[in-house]
Chain A
Amino acid sequence: MIPSDHFVRFYNEIFKYLDAHGGLEDYFQAISEQQEFHCLQAFREQGLQGVYDYYVKIRREENCGLEMILEDGCLQLIMTRCPSLSKAMDNDAGVCPRYCEHCPGWVLPVYSKAGLFIIYDVMEHDQPHCHSWILDQLGSAQAKLQEVHQARPGAKLLTNF
């Protein structure tokens, strides 16, 4: 058995293999489809509150440093200590350089299916932090994207809209 505590380091080895042989994006899609089982219904039916509640569980179970701000139709997820990348880095096998890509790789499609809009700043791939804004209205998301672009010139922002 791979302990659930060590899944991330196994995952990291899968990423390395797929990065070398092709198919990493297809795997992210497969992860996304499995994650639908865990959260799509709540995201669809409860919107931002469903996302908030899901990440309360994740913050507790995965021991994240995660600040969440839900106000005015926008949920900010401010990851100050990502447990996933932290473990992948605290690892005798070394981290896959594309490790962080799995997160937007699965969340963007799920948010799209839930009718939510995300702006994702993965930030540095060798630091366990990132910042995302999830919104429930397209117009608000477009306005937020402009605001974030101005506040963070040069940031490589990922969106699903």
Chain B
Amino acid sequence: MLRYRETGEMHKDFHGGTSLALDFVADRYGEQALSEILHNVGTKVYASIHEKLKRDDPSELVEHLAYFYNREGADFDLKVSGQEIILTLRECPAIAHIRKLGLPLSKHFCRSTTDLNDALCDGTPWATETRILAEGQCVQRFYRKEK
């Protein structure tokens, strides 16, 4: 069950706010600050997903990915097996919206995926890797670490 499960309308302009925030922090405080903040998001804001992963339970992570990428209207596939979860994103809805608005896209933007995923898995039996294929296209893989 999802800890956060918003319904109703969405304010997609917030993706522009994410882009600004990433640049503001990285430019002023350095990449390490960005890592620290995104680690807090992954482990504290998403404590429910993180704690379940610690108990080797990826169910909320899978539900989270499916629910929010669907809700944002993403073009994606999500494949789940016992050992891995693979999200193939053909068009990132966040980047697409920022481009549609004509706002600057932070060069750090994908760290809101990669660092966040790393934080979710930190100290758990799960690991993650993301391959960025092109702007707005990536493959996010979560997998059980070998024992």
> Do A and B come from the same complex?
yes
A-side residues, CB < 8 A to B, are 1-11, 13-14, 16-17, 21, 23, 26-27, 30-31, 34, 37-38, 58, 60-63, 90-94
Interface size class of B (residues with CB under 8 A): 35 or more
Is B11 a contact of A6 with CB atoms below 8 Å? no
Report B53 CB to chain A, min CB distance, Å: 14
Rounded to whole Å, the gap between the CB of B43 and the closest CB of chain A is 9
Given contacts A2-B112, A13-B40, 8 further A-B contacts (CB under 8 A): A1-B74, A4-B11, A9-B4, A23-B28, A37-B103, A60-B9, A63-B9, A94-B44
The answer to whether B37 and A1 have CB atoms under 8 Å apart is no
A63 touching B72, Cβ below 8 Å: no
Confirm or deny: B15 has a beta carbon within 8 angstroms of a beta carbon on chain A: yes
User: A4–B71 Cα gap in the complex (Å)?
Assistant: 10
Instruction: List 26 A–B pairs whose Cβ atoms lie within 8 Å, in order of A's numbering.
Output: A1-B72, A1-B92, A1-B112, A2-B41, A3-B68, A3-B71, A4-B13, A4-B15, A5-B6, A6-B68, A7-B17, A8-B14, A9-B45, A10-B112, A11-B17, A13-B37, A13-B41, A17-B25, A17-B29, A17-B33, A17-B37, A17-B40, A34-B17, A61-B11, A93-B40, A93-B41
Q: How far is the CB of A90 from chain B (nearest CB, A)?
A: 8
Contact in complex: B68, A93 (CB < 8 Å)? no
Chain B residues engaging chain A, CB cutoff 8 angstroms: 3-4, 6, 8-18, 20-21, 24-25, 28-29, 33, 36-37, 40-41, 44-48, 68-69, 71-72, 74, 92-94, 101, 103, 112-113, 116
Contacts of A27 in B (CB 8 A): 21, 24
